[in-house]
A and B are shown apart, each in its own frame.
Chain A
Amino acid sequence: MSEGKILPEIITPSNKEVIVVGEQLNGEIRPVTLELLGAGRDLASKLGGSLSCVLLGHKLEKLPQKLISYGADIVYVADDSILENYQTLPYRRVIVDFLSGFTLPPHIVLLGSTTCGRDLAPRIAAHFETGLTADCTELDIGPYEHTNKIDPEKVGLYPNCLYAIRPSFGESLKARILGPWKNPQMATVRPGIMLPLKPDENHKGEIKTIPVDLKPEDYRAELIEVVHEVSKSVNLTEADVIVAGGFGLGKQDGFELIKELASCFENVAIGASRKVVDIGWIPYPYQIGQTGKSVRPKVYIACGISGAIQHRVGMSKSGLIIAINKDPEAPIFKFAHHGIVGDLYQIIPELIKQFKSNIVKEEKPLVRQN
């Protein structure tokens, strides 16, 4: 492509800082923030820069120190009662002001692909007119040779680009997306994929307060009620066992069978593929996959789920994956640990039956005399 010509090196101005926009809820750091610090640490050392975290909330107390132990060199803190819960406009204002305050822009800004991160990140990116890649599953740093002459001044070799890698077209593609012309380069990253560092109490870091300076227009929306239904069902991301249903259930009532199977387990949650959420058989909070939740339970039972990449990226790290599907060619059989080829309406009742008799057998030793 370059026909032996050496491309000019183009350095996009930055202070080489990698910034993670942290999330907290009810006095706890959300797990995705610690995961982002793990990923960010690696990027920062490749860049030769520092890793920081910006945390917004109210009465944050020990939380900034915790972020330092998980790898942050600097924690920027905005502590104010209006920031207690996430709200688009106040959070947007504080982050925009904060990022505008650098003489040289940060190199990378990362957010979690959560309902907050996916709400906030596009606003920040649009404000700074910088690139943002959604729902990444891998991040890296590397060079990029731009040879497209549509904008001649852009042709060149860009070192230190953020490689934002994400599944694409819901199928079997992985796209590497770059935005080398402007910093910060931004990405949202799926929860449950990156690994946090082991906390190190000796890691030294700095805590800096940043201003909260809202304008009248930031009060055009008001949070009037927050409801967390944690008690109602086990949080998908914290369950030991997930029983998930897909289009192979054939009908909405199929979820009754899924519930019955789930009721055999301790600390269990129900999940679903995107297709059945799209057609309305089960609400969105149950969706597992690229555009739903990422989960890593000890046991994952996939019932009538074909296992497209968009589902796979959300659950492939589960401890034990058991798939039930009548199509022996279903992609899920490529990455499950155990697969049963058969009609789930015969297999699941049989599973329930044998689990119940197993429970009885398990109890037997208690009464049997040795």
Chain B
Amino acid sequence: MTQSSLKDIFVLIKQVPDQSAKAGINPDGTIDRAKAKRMLNPFDRYALQAALHTKKHYGGKVTAITMGPPAALEIILEALEHGVDCGYILSDKRLAASDTLATAYALHKVIKYIGHFDLIFCGLQTTDGDTAQVGPQIAERLSLPQTTYCEDFRIEENKVIAKRVVEGGYEWVKMEIPALITVANSYHHLEYKSFRGARMVQHLLRNEEEKNKYIKTITLDTIGAEPAKCGLRGSPTIVARTDKVSEIGGSCKIHQGASQEQLVSEIIQSTNIKEFLKL
């Protein structure tokens, strides 16, 4: 096996509302992002692990990139605590209400602005959008080969060999570098924060000048993005309305308050479940 070495690994991460926390969840089910508890998109933890794994085995520097309000600094710091080397936050009011196409446009401009990369890792999708579209849309903008639903990979002779989970099986894809990978949640869990990373973040929090060296906050002007292609104006889709899903059913027969023998026997008696038993 030939040793492969990489120089630049990018990982795209996003801060999302914590939907398991009650705070900021309006009675109609929408989210008040200002009040909601914030967290790193859970799917991005796998992307971070993939990026850090790549660095550990094949070398290179890991850059975390996010787009969001200034509070997104929190997840860049979290990424640094895990061992990421530096971060970029694209923060601009003109990005508000971006759909996936506008988001991918803005992020691909950030990537072009930063410059050289070998691999880009993304989470499979986000928990607030659930679309899984931004990764492949960035790959399209940058004309990259991609592997989505990736749960394992290695690098050989300057090619990535990636395992992609598909319905009822998997496949292995060999890609030229540079390439983009979206990481499935069957990939390895994110390891604990590193002592070095945590110390680094403590240091940066005490020293603004140092912080600005490692974490850069940039705007559409910095990256030369066209404002008309960003935010609401640059989004080909809009949410025209949202409806509360009507409470369906109400016809569920509830079995409770008896012994488990009784409850189970009621179920068996009142359904056709026995027909499906193995004889």
Contact = CB atoms under 8 A, between A and B. Distances in A.
Interface of A: 85, 87-89, 92, 114-116, 118-123, 125-127, 129-135, 144, 148, 150-151, 163-164, 167-179, 181-182, 217, 220-230, 235, 237, 240-241, 263-268, 277-278, 280, 283-285, 290-291, 293, 298-299, 309-310, 316, 320, 322-323, 328, 333-342, 346-347, 350-351, 354-355, 358-359, 362-363
A264 B171 contact: no
27 contacts: A115-B166, A125-B101, A126-B101, A129-B236, A131-B236, A150-B232, A167-B245, A168-B239, A171-B29, A173-B30, A174-B242, A174-B244, A175-B239, A177-B239, A177-B240, A222-B175, A237-B167, A265-B278, A266-B278, A278-B42, A280-B189, A283-B151, A320-B271, A337-B251, A338-B253, A340-B256, A347-B264
B253 A339 contact: yes
Contact of B169 (A222, A230, A267, A359): A230
A173 B29 contact: yes
Contact of B136 (A126, A176, A338): A126
Contacts of B29: 169, 171-173
Nearest to B143: A217
A268 B278 CA distance: 10
Contacts of B278: 263-266, 359
A178 to B, nearest CB: 5
A207 B257 CA distance: 62
Contacts of A237: 167
B115 interface: no
Nearest to A282: B186
A93 B169 CA distance: 25
B218 interface: no
Given A125-B133, A135-B131, A169-B128, A342 B256 contact: yes
Contacts of A299: 273, 276
A267 B278 CA distance: 9
A173 B243 contact: yes
Contacts of B248: 316, 334-335
A334 B276 contact: no
Interface in B169-220: 169-176, 179, 184-186, 189
B124 to A, nearest CB: 8
Contacts of A334: 247-250, 252
A223 B171 contact: yes
Contact of B233 (A88, A150, A169, A290): A150
A115 B165 contact: yes
Contacts of A173: 28-30, 242-245
Interface of A is mostly: mixed
B146 interface: yes
A54 to B, nearest CB: 19
Contacts of A116: 166
B252 A221 contact: no
A302 to B, nearest CB: 12
A146 to B, nearest CB: 8
B249 A335 contact: yes
A176 B247 CA distance: 18
B167 A114 contact: yes
Given A265-B277, A278-B42, A322-B273, 5 more contacts: A167-B245, A222-B173, A224-B161, A293-B167, A338-B267
B268 A358 contact: yes
A182 B236 contact: yes
A322 B161 CA distance: 43
Contacts of B242: 168, 173-176
Contacts of B256: 328, 339-342
B71 interface: no
Nearest to A320: B271
A115 B249 contact: no
Contact of A123 (B42, B130, B137, B274): B137
A181 B265 contact: no
B250 A240 contact: no
A131 B172 contact: no
Given A169-B30, A173-B29, A130 B273 contact: no
A263 to B, nearest CB: 8
B254 A115 contact: no
Contacts of A167: 245
B168 A221 contact: no
A167 B248 CA distance: 15
Contacts of B237: 131-133, 164, 177-179
A342 B260 contact: yes
A230 B166 CA distance: 12
Contacts of B101: 125-126, 129-132
A118 B135 CA distance: 11
Contact of B245 (A122, A172, A347): A172
B145 A132 contact: no
Residue with the highest number of chain B CB atoms closer than 10 Å, among A119, A217, A351, A362: A119
B238 interface: yes
B91 interface: no
B81 interface: no
A221 to B, nearest CB: 4
A-B complex: 10 closest residue pairs judged by Cβ atoms: A131-B236, A341-B256, A131-B237, A126-B140, A134-B131, A228-B169, A122-B136, A126-B137, A122-B133, A335-B249
Given A126-B104, A350-B264, A134 B133 contact: yes
A95 to B, nearest CB: 12
Nearest to B267: A338
A339 B254 contact: yes
A315 B49 CA distance: 32
Contact of A223 (B127, B173, B253): B173
B61 interface: no
Contacts of A341: 254-257
A248 to B, nearest CB: 14
Contacts of B125: 291
